[in-house]
Amino acid sequence: MFVYADNAATTPVSDAVFNAMLPWLHDRYGNPSAIYSVGREAKAAVEDARVKVASLIGARPEEIVFTAGGSESDNYALKGTAYAGRKKGRHIISTKIEHHAMLHTLEWLEKQGFEVTLLDVDSDGLVSPDDVKRAVSDNTILISVMAANNEIGTIEPIAEIGEIAAAHKIPFHTDAVQAYGHIPLNVREMNLSTLSLSAHKLRGPKGIGALYIKNGTHIDTFLHGGGQERGRRGGTENVAGIVGLGEAAYQCSLHMAEDAKRVTALRDRLIAGILPIPYSRLTGHPTRRLPGNASFCIEGIEGEAIVLTLDSLGVMASSGSACSSGSLDPSHVLMAIGLPHVVAHGSVRLSLGPQNTDAEVDYLISAVHKTAEDLRAKSPVWENNAPMWAKFE
Ligand SMILES: Cc1ncc(COP(=O)(O)O)c(C=O)c1O
């Protein structure tokens, strides 16, 4: 059996999205900036997508700027807001569990003279609004907290943090790349100034995303060029990608609630099936978590070995045990929730989507059990290490 269980990494393009995009990859090739009919129809398709992307989060269409994905949107929000606000102050508040698109951008901003406070999270991965409040100073020009974590699935208290930001009149950004299209988000209720999203996490194509920028937000242009996106992001629009993102957002507007219910039920059955493995534990919040995210640590075995063994059984999963740079350190997220290295090394993330089935979940459960047994049987250290778990309880 083949089971794709890495929907937090990327999702398969849906039929609806594929069919919507096709004409724009071939027959309908106009440049949206051109004033003749073929250009105008491309422009109309882009504007139609903008309406769909905006309406899913209660934004106005003109508040949506199309980008090349989540990483660009995060770069734009952070650098654009920091530079627009630098005469007021230099302090930025964010968290230790952000995606590298955020953390590496923040590191770069530090080198440019900004000061960054990265807040801790609790053992479930939750950011405390009180910590945000305490970190605010007269010098703070931006607060940024992700809507939901990509590794452990924890959903953050964005509305509460938004209230704090609004009370202090500080711009508030959220990286909603994992959350958009999966859980309800409302930019007004959450007092957001900017929000990042990316199509390939909601069954759209890769390399296209958007940044919501609230009307009136002070933000510097990130990508200079022609006057596209009302001067906010230069470059001929990726029309097919934008149409794909629009269709993906539209499909979410139709099916998000029912999909979330079904995927949550699959996820909970998967979690219940895996936790009987001795010395295994769920990472992330038990209930405040993304519908599709089931992430674990299984002690005594190593995350990359788990992923490769699962692959040999036809299961596509991922691990936060080692980061993509080839480092042997467990991920910053698993460290931030306080897991000891010996536990964090056995991390595996299974992330489901609406296309996954009950039969696939059954297979995933048996494949993970088999993987844990096989790898432990081969591990020279497993018997010695088993009690380590209890030490850290
Ligand atoms: C939370 C989060 N932010 C940002 C990104 C980057 O998005 P993209 O792959 O569209 O650049 C990802 C992708 O995994 C993500 O999960």
Residue 323: the pLDDT is: 47
52: amino acid identity, one letter: K
d(CA 332, CA 323): 9
Whether 177 is in the pocket of ligand 1, judged by its Cβ within 6 Å, is: yes
Using CA positions, which residue lies closest to atom 4 of ligand 1? 70
Whether 149 is in the pocket of ligand 1, judged by its Cβ within 6 Å, is: no
∠ CA 318-186-166, nearest 5°, is 105
Residue 342: the pLDDT is: 87
- Beta-bridge partners for 148: 155
Domain 3-9+256-391 in CATH: superfamily? Aspartate Aminotransferase, domain 1 (3.90.1150.10)
Mutational pocket test of ligand 1: of 150, 156, 177, the residue with most ligand atoms within 8 Å of the beta carbon: 177
Q: What are the DSSP calls for 210-271, one per residue?
A: EEEE-TT-----SB-SSSTGGGTB-S---HHHHHHHHHHHHHHHHHHHHHHHHHHHHHHHHH
Burial 60-89 (b: 16+ CB within 10 A, else e): eeebbbbbbbbbbbbbbbbbbbbbbbeeeb
Whether 99 is in the pocket of ligand 1, judged by its Cβ within 6 Å, is: yes
Whether 71 is in the pocket of ligand 1, judged by its Cβ within 6 Å, is: yes
Residue 84: the pLDDT is: 98
- Of ligand 1's listed atoms, the one at least distance from the Cα of 74 is 4
Using CA positions, which residue lies closest to atom 16 of ligand 1? 150
- Tell me, in angstroms, the distance from the centre of ligand 1 to residue 154's CA: 15
Q: Which residues are annotated as catalytic?
A: 323
Residues 178, 8 contacting (CB under 8 angstroms): yes
Burial 169-193 (b: 16+ CB within 10 A, else e): ebbbbbbbbbbbbbbebebeebbbb
User: Which of 125, 253, 143 lies closest to 190 in space, CA to CA?
Assistant: 143
- Tell me, in angstroms, the distance from the centre of ligand 1 to residue 386's CA: 35
Residue spans of the domains in the chain: they are 3-9+256-391, 15-252
Residue 160 corresponds to which tokens in the numbers above?
Answer: 């509460």
Whether 175 is in the pocket of ligand 1, judged by its Cβ within 6 Å, is: yes
Write down the architecture of domain 15-252 according to CATH.
3-Layer(aba) Sandwich (3.40)
Residue 371: the pLDDT is: 98
Q: What is the largest CA-CA distance in the chain?
A: 73
Residue 335: the pLDDT is: 96
Q: What are the DSSP calls for 120-171, one per residue?
A: P--TT-PPPHHHHHHH--TTEEEEE--SB-TTT-BBP-HHHHHHHHHHTT--
Phi, psi of 13, rounded to the nearest 5 degrees: -65, 130
The model's pTM is 0.96
Whether 101 is in the pocket of ligand 1, judged by its Cβ within 6 Å, is: yes
3-9+256-391 matches 15-252 in fold: no
d(CA 4, CA 311): 10
- Tell me, in angstroms, the distance from the centre of ligand 1 to residue 111's CA: 23
Using CA positions, which residue lies closest to atom 7 of ligand 1? 70
Residue 214 corresponds to which tokens in the numbers above?
Answer: 């609230």
Return all residues near 254 (Cβ < 8 A) that are at least 6 apart. Answer: none
pLDDT in tens, the chain (393 residues): 999 999 999 999 999 999 999 999 999 999 999 999 999 999 999 999 999 999 999 999 999 999 999 999 999 999 999 999 999 999 999 999 999 999 999 999 999 999 999 999 999 999 999 999 999 999 999 999 999 999 999 999 999 999 999 999 999 999 999 999 999 999 999 999 999 999 999 999 999 999 999 999 999 999 999 999 999 999 999 999 999 999 999 999 999 999 999 999 999 999 999 999 999 999 999 999 999 999 999 999 999 999 999 999 999 999 976 544 456 678 999 999 999 998 999 999 999 999 999 999 999 999 999 999 999 998 877 776 655 655 554
